[in-house]
Structure 1
Amino acid sequence: MYLCKLTAIAALSLCATQAVAATYTFNVQVVESIDTPENGFVLPAVGTIGTISFLLDATALDADGDPTTGVGLPTPLNPAYAGASAAIGGLTASLDSSSTTIFGFDQRARFSNGDFSSISVSLPAGDCVSLGCTFAGNFSVYGPPGSGTPASFADVDAFLNNPLSTVMFSFNGTATGQYASFRAESVSLAPIPLPASGILLIGALTGAAMLRKKRRIT
């Protein structure tokens, strides 16, 4: 009985100390789209809205005790702790979970596939493999001005949590033997405008409330 209790306590402690990777999702808009629709390769048009998501468990990565694992080192990270993906107008892309790395630059953290940043892209209009796509690209999060170069995964996490940070997903290369390029960046979605009838309704309800209040006073 005592041994069972110890086992249960140990299991609970292990669960409590295991870090959980957080997912950060940002709204983005396509700002560059160069494709070859005449050859069957069609990218989402400029202005298309989508999302970019980052997966990061900074606590687990910073505390793994491995000197070869860190920001700016090419050693692939545990796929349960780091990754990035995009879903934009039918286009989907994600980092190869077996080779995700994070590099630090001035005011920027780049999530990429190893040293060469090769990116695989899926499109509803055609099989990218059959179209001969060869793309290099990455997912980046930019901290606000003056944020410096991230030196730890906690620094990258701070970028992802900062409301002033921006993100970008981009790639370029060839498809159907011709140059192609794509870039999507952070966008703040405008609030949905209220129709004129809705404004009139709010005005009417406000007026009715004021009239009831006046009657109670008199």
Structure 2
Amino acid sequence: MKFRSIIGALVSTAVSITALPAMAATFVFNVQVVESIDVVPSPTFDLPDVGTVGTVTFLLDAATLDSDGDPLTGINVDAPLSQSLADAEATIGGLTSDLSDVSIFGFPGGARFSNGSFSNITISLAGADCIALSCTLAGSFSILKPGAPAPTLFADVEALLLDPDAVARFSFNGTVQGEFVSFVAESVPTPVIPLPAGGILLLSGLMGFAAFRGRQHVVTDPR
């Protein structure tokens, strides 16, 4: 009887697990600035320099968004998504950015999270008022993998976010006080560096950079 009770409890637990509601997932990528074309001179609008590290975060509740059975919902459509179901933000040096009108666009090789149709990226910098500086910036958050098919489900976008070979990118360009600016930060593989005389110092640096390449996958509260 005791054995049957244990089996019954295990079966009940398994059923409970499979019946759990959908959960929104947050994906955090460590990124590095690979392009920073700034206003020159830049007394108030100073973008993080190339090499600056930070994070790019995506939130996606794929199961909830796919639950209506329409494989194209949210992909290449005009209607914005709820920020509780999809979102993206960047924190790099003194720069922060967050989407407010989320759309997701699928294309061969990746997916893009943007405000509306790839526009109206708001950039926050310490001491910089983009309204006063007449900022006109367009950009997006992307998850990219060359050769990957265009996603048609939110689950496909989630699979890209989970793919260790995919690259996360935050980028924008436009004008500030009439001058062109451009910015790109992305998760990058460890570069090949020639071995100098200080081999031990190099080794510790490579180990640190390899750790920087990592990403975290955190599941938030069930919905």
- TM-score interval w.r.t. the shorter chain? 0.7 to 0.9
Is 1:19 matched up with 2:19?
Answer: no
SS in 2 for 1:21: strand
Q: Tell me the matched-pair count.
A: 178
CA distance in 2, matches of 1:142, 1:53: 14
Structure 1 spans left out of the alignment, 5+ residues: 1-12, 199-218
Partner of 1:105: 107
Superposition RMSD in Å = 2.4
Partner of 1:81: 85
Q: Choose the corresponding residue for 1:115, options 117, 132, 137.
A: 117
TM superposition shift of 1:128: 2.0
Q: Deviation string for 1:69-89 (max 9, x for gaps)?
A: 331212111211101000001
Partner of 1:93: 97
- Rg larger in 1 or in 2? 1
TM-score by length of 2: 0.72
SS in 1 for 2:138: strand
CA distance in 2, matches of 1:47, 1:55: 25
Give the structure, 1 or 2, with the largest relative contact order (CA under 8 Å, sep 6 or more): 2
2:172 corresponds to which letter in structure 1? F
Is 1:150 matched up with 2:151?
Answer: yes
Within 5 Å, give how 1:1-218 maps onto structure 2.
Answer: 17-39=20-42, 40-64=44-68, 69-96=73-100, 99-143=101-145, 145-188=146-189
- If each structure's helix is expressed as a fraction of its own residues, which one has the higher value? 1
CA distance in 2, matches of 1:67, 1:30: 34
TM superposition shift of 1:68: 7.7
In the alignment, is the contact (CA less than 8 A) between 1:62 and 1:70 conserved in 2?
A: no
Distance 1:189 1:67, change over 3 A: closer
Structure 2 spans left out of the alignment, 5+ residues: 1-15, 192-198, 205-223
In the alignment, is the contact (CA less than 8 A) between 2:72 and 2:152 conserved in 1?
A: no
In the alignment, is the contact (CA less than 8 A) between 2:72 and 2:153 conserved in 1?
A: no
Q: Deviation string for 1:145-188 (max 9, x for gaps)?
A: 43211111000000001111111110011111211111111135
**How high is the sequence identity, in percent, across the aligned residues?**
54
TM superposition shift of 1:38: 2.1
Distance 1:38 1:57, change over 3 A: same
CA distance in 2, matches of 1:179, 1:68: 36
In the alignment, is the contact (CA less than 8 A) between 1:30 and 1:48 conserved in 2?
A: yes
Q: Deviation string for 1:182-202 (max 9, x for gaps)?
A: 111113579xx977xx9xxxx
CA distance in 1, matches of 2:40, 2:128: 10
CA distance in 2, matches of 1:22, 1:194: 39
TM-score by length of 1: 0.74
